[in-house]
Every structure is written in structure tokens, then in C-alpha cells.
Amino acid sequence: MKIVILDGYCVNPGDLSWEGLEALGSVIVYDYTAPQETLERCRDAEAVLTNKTCLPAEILTALPDLKYIGVLATGYNVVDVETARRQGIIVTNIPAYSTHSVAQMVFAHLLNITQQVGHHAARVREGAWTHNRDFCFWDTPQIELYGKTLGVIGFGHTGSAVAALALAFGMHVLAYTSKKATQLPAGVTKATLDDLFAHSDIVSVHAPLTPQTRGLVNAARLSLMKPTAILINTSRGPLVDEEALAAALNQGKIRAAGLDVLSSEPPHADNPLLTAKHCYITPHIAWATIEARRRLINIAVDNLQAFLAGKPIHCVD
């Protein structure tokens, strides 16, 4: 079997191995593939793996040998799934591989905002503590999480993992979810979206990107938040109206935001959040721990093995 990986670098920049896939066929790995290169690189392949390289209808219909597409991510909007279905091509994705890593990043942002560890470590190196009169030194508010209310939007794998961490910190948790209240763990209270924004000290977004959720965090909902509230988004950038969030931050309508995703990645230089006050942005790395990436590759191998055995798993359709 000829297996082509179109953009392997982000998943495995050299610190992991493709040997599990190599045991299943002849593997060709490209670090990156430009749109104009996609068709030729996929030609004669029976299996193609992609992370962010698009496989639109015009590509799929020109590949009669293609039987399997493995998306090396949870989101699969890079593939024209309907065309793949008509062509008899199985499409799989990688669910829940980065749950704990993303939940960890939520609290990395939250702890950074509330206690500014990196900032104060830098100030110590600059001599601010050495030359301080008191035994201690801080120049930003120090905020305790215990007793605060965390609102979780979306209560799937990651949302529930974030809630568990919040409960361990002694926080109250509100959840906006399609699940029934009786399905939620102890300590988690179901809430409407507007009530969640109004009553939470921290709002953490974990919803999928759909036409209904695009722009979910908008000016109206930001206006419901407490002026001391914090917004965290580690899910999908377009869930947030970036102009509205920048305005809310610059006008002091909320305390801060911690973001691992933006509407366009890499961001355009004129994205207003890049210069907004108290906006802390990481470059879409919540998923990228070595443990999560190793898990992703292992699941990709399992997916292809299951397909070859005639019992495909994690099919997106």
C-alpha cells in the first residue's frame, strides 16, 4: 500500500517516529504540501494522511486509486467529505487525543493571568526584588482561584476535563451543554449561555465551530461579563468576535483574555487582539505536547489498521 503524508511536520517535526505506519505500507512523508502540489503527490496513493492540507472535490475526483483519508486532527473540514463518500473513500479523524493537554493549557493561561509568574520571574532578574524594601514584591494583582466560578461552554471531553481541574482548585463550575443536568458530575451546574457569561469569573470556550457557534462570543455576551472576568479560548478562533473582544479588553470591560487560537492562523498583522490590553496569546500549541502528538500518531496507525482489516473506526461520516 502506498501511504502519503502531505504535511507531517507539525505533528512530527522529528521528535517522534512514523514506524507504526511504515509497518503498514510504503510511506512517503512531506513536511508541507502546497495546493498546486497536492494532486501529483497523492497520485497512485491508496491512503493519504493530512493535517491542514486541503483535499477538495477536484482533487478527490482525480484520484481513482484513493481509498482512505486519515485526517491527523479532530477537525476534518479540510476534506470534502461528501465527495469522498460518493467516491467510496473512507475518511477518519483523531478524536480526543489532546484532551488533557488542552485542559492543561486552559489553566496555564488562567494561572498566568491571575499570578503572572513569568512576569514576576522576569522582574526578579531585572533586580526589582533585590532592590525592594519589603521581603516580597509584586506589581500586578494576585488573584486566588478558590471559590471563583468557572463557566465552561461545551462539555465534551475537553470541557469536562477542564471542569474536573476547576473542581480540584475549589472552584464552582457552570456548564453550557446539551447534556441534561442529571448527566453532569457533582459540583457542575447547568446554565443558560447568558447566565453563564453573567455569573462566571472565568469563561472557558470548548465548543466546535459550526454556523451556529461562529461568533458565539460577541459584543452582547461580552457586555454581560463582570469587569473582573477572564475569557479563555483554546477551541476554535472564529468562535470569538475578535473586534468585540479587543474593544472589551481595551475599554476595561473585562479583566483579561487567554487565547491559544485565532480566526486566521498564522494571524494577520492587523489582528486587533495582537495589541489589545491584557490579551495573552499562545500560538495554537495546546495540542502539541509530545504526549498528545504521540497519541495522535498511534491513533492514526490504529485507524489505518482498522480500515485494512475491513472494520474502519473513527469515521467522520
Catalytic residue positions?
Answer: 236, 265, 284
CA distances to 64, 116, 143, 150 from 122, rounded to whole Å, are 58, 10, 19, 29
- CA atoms of 77 and 67, how far apart (whole Å): 18
Q: Which long-range contacts (CB under 8 A, 24 or more apart) does 81-89 make?
A: 81/316, 81/317, 83/56, 83/57, 84/55, 84/60, 84/317, 85/317, 87/60, 87/61, 89/60
Q: What region does 88 belong to: left with phi over 0, alpha with psi -120 to 50, or beta? A: left
Amino acid identity for residue 279 in this structure: C
| C-beta of residue 234 within 8 angstroms of C-beta of residue 261 | yes
- CA atoms of 90 and 312, how far apart (whole Å): 8
3-state secondary structure of 227: coil
What are the φ and ψ backbone dihedral angles of 107, each rounded to 5 degrees?
-80, -25
- CA atoms of 297 and 299, how far apart (whole Å): 5
